[in-house]
Amino acid sequence: MKGRRDAPARIAPAARPRRGRVRPETWLAVAFIAPTILIVCGVYLYPAVATLLYSFSELEVASLRIDRFVGLEHFRGAVASEEFKAVVLRTLYFGLMVVVLTTVPAFLIALLLKERFRGRNFLRVIVLLPWALPPVVSGVLWSQMFHADFGFINGLIRTAGGEGNIIWLGDPVLALHAVIIAEVWRWIPFATLFILAGLQTIPPETYEAASVDGANAWQKFRYLTVPLMWPILLPVTIFMFVWAMKAFDTIFVLTQGGPRMGTTTLNYLVYRQSFQEFSFGQAAATAYILSLLTLLVIAVLAFLRWRARIRSGEVAS
């Protein structure tokens, strides 16, 4: 740093120590990041490694210490089990439904909120509210909505002249979809605002130019909005899928994974295997299978985004 006052100050992160000397700025950076790195190592890295060890072991129930290594037994047992296969398929179905049922309405609501109208700010607040509720609250809320005897949904059906005797949370298939609805309701705010922020980056001139060329509303939507929004939609789908894989509170409050395991996703299965059946080794193996599945789907979605980018690049050039 000596005698370099007149040169532009080196603030950019690209700066590298020269001639083997570590610059004081680097020490400062290390000191600044150290607490975060320590916490990340203690709370993420160490547990991730320990979970991996658990997944190859049998743990003593009382002391929770590793008793003996069993190799791939937990993984083999999982893959061979019909019940486990059903859980994996259910988890993927759950994720897919949450992604689709959140993204499509969110896109429509975002298109609406982009318009100027009286009460728009009020509607924006209402649309944001489900995001700010604790998931446990939305669980309680939807359990009251879906209650067979005095729930509001059966009440609506009765008002409309139907029987209104559907036991929503008593049937495995219905209950799964009830949980999906509760999760979708919770994530629509985020998806809507994310898509809305993306929509607002499309310059209005683009639409004006299209109008001059005689495009109608549908053509503008199909040939302008949708292609321009692809780069936004793919991250949204990734977020939604990740969160669907993490869904726990809503399932826990609404159905506890039942009836007949109908709402048990992989994430919930890990909880059940560890804190209800106390087979931490098996639970650790399930947790790793869930993580790999999540990363695999993200990789596929990221690949799709990459391919879309290449394709739009070709169109541009």
Partner 1 sequence: MKALRRLWVYPAALAVLVVIAFPLYGVVLTSIQREQDIRSRDVNFIPRYIELGHYQAVLDPGHIVPIREAMMNSFTVSVLTAVIAVALALPATYALYRLPLPGRSYILAGLVSIYLLPTILFVLPLYVRAAQFGLLDTFTGLVIPYVAFILPFMVWILGAFLKAIPVQIEEAAMIDGANRLQILVRVVLPLMKPGIGAGLLMGFILAWIEFLTPLLFTRELRILTVTLGLYRSTYEIEIGQLAAAAVLTALPLIVLTVVFQRAISQVITTGAER
Which residues between 223 and 252 bind partner 1 (CB under 8 A)?
232, 235, 242, 245-246, 248-249, 252
- CB of residue 253 to partner 1, shortest distance in Å: 6
164: left (phi over 0), alpha (psi -120 to 50) or beta: left
Separation CA 11–CA 23 (nearest Å): 12
Touching partner 1, residues 65-94 (CB under 8 A): none
- CB of residue 79 to partner 1, shortest distance in Å: 19
> CA dist 291 to 49, 87, 183, 296, Å?
13, 14, 20, 8
Touching partner 1, residues 119-178 (CB under 8 A): 119-121, 123-138, 140-145, 149-152, 154-156, 158-159
262 touches partner 1 (CB under 8 A): no
Nearer to partner 1, 263 or 274 (CB): 274
- Number of other CB atoms surrounding residue 166 within 10 Å: 16
185 touches partner 1 (CB under 8 A): yes
Separation CA 3–CA 15 (nearest Å): 17
**In angstroms, how far is the first alpha carbon of the chain from the final one?**
45
Nearest to residue 94, comparing CAs of 217, 205, 208, 184?
184
Task: Write b or e for each residue in 45-72: b if 16 or more Cβ atoms lie within 10 A of its Cβ, otherwise e.
Answer: eeeeeebeebbbbbbeeeeeebeeebee
- CB of residue 211 to partner 1, shortest distance in Å: 12
Tokens of 202: 């499309």
Reduced to 3 states (helix: H, G, I; strand: E, B; else coil), residue 132 is: helix
308 touches partner 1 (CB under 8 A): no
Q: Binding residue for partner 1 (CB under 8 A) from 112, 228, 301, 308?
A: 112
285 touches partner 1 (CB under 8 A): no
- CB of residue 46 to partner 1, shortest distance in Å: 7
x/- string (CB under 8 A) for partner 1, residues 30-69?
xxxx-xxx-xx-xxx-xxx-xx--x---------x-----
299 touches partner 1 (CB under 8 A): no
315 touches partner 1 (CB under 8 A): no
What one-letter code names the amino acid at 194?
A: F
Touching partner 1, residues 194-213 (CB under 8 A): 194-198, 201
Nearest to residue 183, comparing CAs of 97, 104, 272, 90?
97
275 touches partner 1 (CB under 8 A): yes
- CB of residue 150 to partner 1, shortest distance in Å: 6
Of the candidate spans 79-87, 95-103, 172-180, 190-198, the one that interacts with partner 1 by CB under 8 A turns out to be 190-198
Q: Binding residue for partner 1 (CB under 8 A) from 13, 20, 161, 214?
A: 13
- Number of other CB atoms surrounding residue 218 within 10 Å: 8
